[in-house]
């Protein structure tokens, strides 16, 4: 009997000792990630089979299944931008021979700071910053001008008796205009206007630079703000420039393009030709025809109520500013504004695409050479452009290499002509594929961005991409590129939102033409080098396959002096984001890690720190569980 009891006690003691020192399975209930990575230690028996599934889509696990004890790695994998919130939480489900639910936490660090202009204050300069001095000097300068009176006398100034307290500042003997100074300008004006010896008198008023256009649809042209093209009024353009638009042709009767096009008989040409009778304008062209001198877009099978791809591309560049006679009682009388609206830049339409939007390699190559003034033959007929262009816009392409197109590009580039081509819209179907003629050596390949300055889902990403410009995304509200189109059902002009690298390309072509027209560049290479050197670097630092060398930035290329803008702060690192600055202060939540902090004065108003805008950069390490105060970031000149 005693032996039996002792045996039972030994068995119980053995079980108790094993449970206290080494439980069969240990799985933590909570895992806290440090930065973008973490781990889950599965302390299970050697023969225990398990599976781990992430029940939240912001992180993934590796490995997801196994047998026996294992440390499972967790890695944050955000599909989009990391949200500005204190913490991310999620769950893991452990199943198999063991079952458990694990909470996953990713704490973010609260980061705060301030932005100010100039440098840190000191005892000698405090209270005398640039902004304070300018604010005091401006009213004084303006009031001084208002005390000056310009007067034109009918006879020699020496025979005129001036009122007491009036001082002569200057006298123009040729124009017989005298500038007077007085402390009582209103009283002096009234007296002078009653004086029979005075022809006229007026205040020496202040004039200001012309502002932005007031056309009806201008507020919807967000892309002009993104690139800084809204400030084109600051520039003068003395040199006439011609840009060839090799496309579907153009609607000459669109009122927003009046005076901006070279017409039939002036070099414009249709390499497609008319449809074969008795087909209407939408029919197939006569085979092997030499074309004609009228590149009017006759039809658009893809967009009959808002079509003409070539007209859309042309409007982005040269649509007029101001009013015109509306085409119908309910039609607009002002429309949109082209990037180069105030420059003597005209488009030479060259039609190579048929009503379905298709064209041949041969016709594109002929049009490229013809545009540059190189003689070409079409169906036995020799053609020579009387007006060689400086820039060629190619908002078209194919994912197939073409000898004839690339040779044409090489020939015209050798003549000093800029060739700007769409990078392609096949990224979501053929990632990284080359598109021609954009990928031809010598061509400038243009990618597309959206309203958020992100490369679009369709924009081709490859080693030939040179530059990015807004191409739009019509799935975003108001996110397309608005430009001139044609309604073929009513036979009236209209305006439509498009998206594509086709819409990004003419913005780059127009910018290059404007640099040549302004005289800031005198050759093709000078224009491209100047534009490229002032692009806004987006994506990976330096050139990358998505944005090329960066986003189009006109104020930097033209060195425009812009009105002072608001401050912008951005963080580039494990969780990159742009942070608003309110009353000089900012705050956000970031995943722990190393960041490049950039603060600038956003003079162009596009939400980016563009080349040429005053900025400061700082490398910071974001860590810990408390608030990180970056102090004041001083934006230098």
Is residue 326 left, alpha or beta, with left meaning phi > 0 and alpha meaning psi from -120 to 50?
A: beta
Count the neighbouring beta carbons within 10 Å of the beta carbon of residue 476. 13
Q: Which two structure tokens, joined as six digits, stand for 575? A: 């969780």
Q: Which two structure tokens, joined as six digits, stand for 470? A: 């807004």
Q: Which two structure tokens, joined as six digits, stand for 223? A: 């892309």
Q: Which residues of 65-76 are buried (b: 16+ CB within 10 A; e: fewer)?
A: ebeeebebebeb
Strand, coil or helix: what is 295? coil
User: Are the beta carbons of 536 and 553 closer than 8 angstroms?
Assistant: yes
φ/ψ of residue 588, rounded to 5: -160, 175
Pick from 334, 341, 358: nearest CA to 248? 358
Compute the distance between CA of residue 326 and CA of residue 317 in angstroms, rounded to an integer: 21
Compute the distance between CA of residue 239 and CA of residue 507 in angstroms, rounded to an integer: 19
Q: Which two structure tokens, joined as six digits, stand for 526? A: 């000078």
Distance of CA 54 to the CA centre of its chain: 37
Compute the distance between CA of residue 362 and CA of residue 484 in angstroms, rounded to an integer: 28
Q: Which two structure tokens, joined as six digits, stand for 548? A: 């090329």
**Beta strand spans in 352-464 (E):** 376-378, 381-383, 391-394, 418-422, 444-449
Could you give the angle at the alpha carbon of 347 between the alpha carbons of 215 and 303, nearest 5°? 70
Pick from 411, 415, 409, 417: nearest CA to 436? 409
Strands 37-42 and 70-76: antiparallel
Active site residues: 247, 309, 502
User: Are the beta carbons of 356 and 285 closer than 8 angstroms?
Assistant: no
Compute the distance between CA of residue 314 and CA of residue 257 in angstroms, rounded to an integer: 8
Compute the distance between CA of residue 335 and CA of residue 489 in angstroms, rounded to an integer: 20
Count the neighbouring beta carbons within 10 Å of the beta carbon of residue 220. 15
Pick from 633, 622, 566: nearest CA to 589? 622
φ/ψ of residue 286, rounded to 5: -65, 130
Q: Which two structure tokens, joined as six digits, stand for 90? A: 């999620």
Q: What is the dihedral of CA 394, 399, 403, 409, to 10 degrees?
A: 20
Distance of CA 25 to the CA centre of its chain: 56
Compute the distance between CA of residue 603 and CA of residue 623 in angstroms, rounded to an integer: 32
DSSP letter string over 312-373?
A: HHHHHHH---S----SSTTS-SS----TTTTS-EEEEEEE---TTS---HHHHHHHHHHHTT
Compute the distance between CA of residue 214 and CA of residue 323 in angstroms, rounded to an integer: 9
């Amino acid at each position: 009997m005693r032996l039996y009891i002792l045996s039972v006690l030994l068995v119980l003691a053995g079980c108790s000792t094993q449970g206290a020192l080494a439980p069969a399975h240990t799985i933590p209930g909570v895992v806290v990630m440090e930065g973008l990575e973490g781990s889950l230690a599965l302390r299970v028996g050697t023969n225990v089979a398990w599976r781990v599934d992430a029940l939240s889509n912001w992180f993934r696990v590796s490995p997801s299944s196994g047998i026996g004890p294992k440390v499972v790695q967790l890695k944050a994998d955000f599909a989009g931008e990391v949200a500005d919130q204190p913490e991310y939480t999620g769950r893991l489900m452990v199943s198999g021979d063991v079952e458990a639910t694990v909470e996953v936490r990713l704490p973010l660090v609260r980061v705060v700071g301030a932005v100010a202009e100039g440098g840190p204050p000191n005892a000698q300069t405090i209270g005398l910053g640039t902004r304070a001095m300018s604010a005091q000097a401006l009213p004084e300068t303006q009031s001084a001008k208002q005390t000056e009176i310009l007067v034109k006398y009918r006879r020699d100034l020496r025979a005129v008796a001036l009122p007491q307290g009036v001082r002569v500042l200057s006298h123009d003997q040729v124009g017989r205009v005298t500038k007077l100074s007085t402390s009582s300008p209103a009283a002096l004006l009234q007296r002078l206007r009653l004086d029979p010896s005075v022809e006229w008198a007026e205040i020496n008023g202040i004039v200001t630079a012309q502002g932005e256009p007031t056309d009806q649809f201008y507020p919807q042209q967000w892309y002009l703000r993104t690139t800084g093209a809204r400030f084109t009024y600051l520039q003068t353009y003395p040199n006439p420039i011609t840009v060839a638009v090799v496309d579907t042709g153009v609607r000459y009767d669109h009122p927003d393009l009046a005076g901006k096009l070279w017409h039939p008989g002036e070099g414009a040409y249709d390499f497609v030709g008319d449809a074969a009778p008795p087909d209407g304008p939408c029919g197939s062209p006569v085979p092997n025809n030499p074309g004609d001198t009228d590149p009017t877009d006759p039809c658009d099978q893809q967009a009959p109520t808002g079509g003409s791809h070539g007209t859309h591309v042309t409007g982005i560049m040269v649509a007029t500013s101001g009013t015109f006679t509306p085409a119908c009682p309910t039609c607009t009388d002002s429309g949109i504004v082209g990037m180069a609206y105030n420059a003597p830049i005209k488009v030479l339409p060259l039609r190579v695409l048929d009503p379905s939007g298709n064209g041949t390699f041969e016709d594109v190559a002929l049009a490229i050479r013809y545009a540059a003034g190189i003689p070409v033959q079409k169906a036995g007929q020799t053609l020579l452009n009387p007006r060689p262009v400086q820039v060629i816009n190619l908002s078209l392409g194919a994912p197939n290499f073409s000898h004839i197109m690339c040779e044409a590009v090489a020939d015209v580039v050798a003549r000093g002509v800029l060739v700007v081509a769409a990078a392609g819209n096949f990224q979501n179907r053929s990632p990284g594929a080359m598109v021609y003629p954009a990928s031809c050596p010598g061509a400038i390949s243009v990618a597309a961005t959206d309203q958020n300055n992100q490369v679009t889902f369709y924009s081709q990403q490859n080693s030939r991409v040179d530059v990015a410009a807004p191409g739009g995304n019509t799935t975003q509200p108001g996110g397309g590129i608005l430009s001139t189109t044609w309604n073929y059902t009513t036979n009236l002009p209209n305006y439509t939102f498009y998206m594509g690298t086709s819409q990004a390309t003419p913005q780059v072509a127009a910018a290059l033409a404007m640099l040549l027209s302004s005289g800031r560049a005198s050759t093709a290479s000078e224009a491209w080098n100047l534009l490229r050197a002032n692009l806004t670097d987006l994506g990976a630092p330096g050139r990358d396959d998505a944005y090329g060398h960066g986003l189009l930035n006109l104020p930097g290329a033209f060195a425009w002096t812009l009105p002072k803008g608001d401050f912008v702060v951005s963080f580039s690192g494990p969780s990159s984001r742009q942070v608003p600055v309110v009353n000089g202060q900012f705050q956000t939540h970031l995943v722990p890690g190393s960041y490049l902090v950039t603060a600038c004065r956003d003079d162009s108003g596009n939400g980016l720190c563009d080349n040429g805008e005053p900025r400061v950069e700082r490398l910071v390490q974001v860590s810990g569980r408390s608030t990180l105060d970056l102090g004041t970031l001083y934006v230098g000149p």
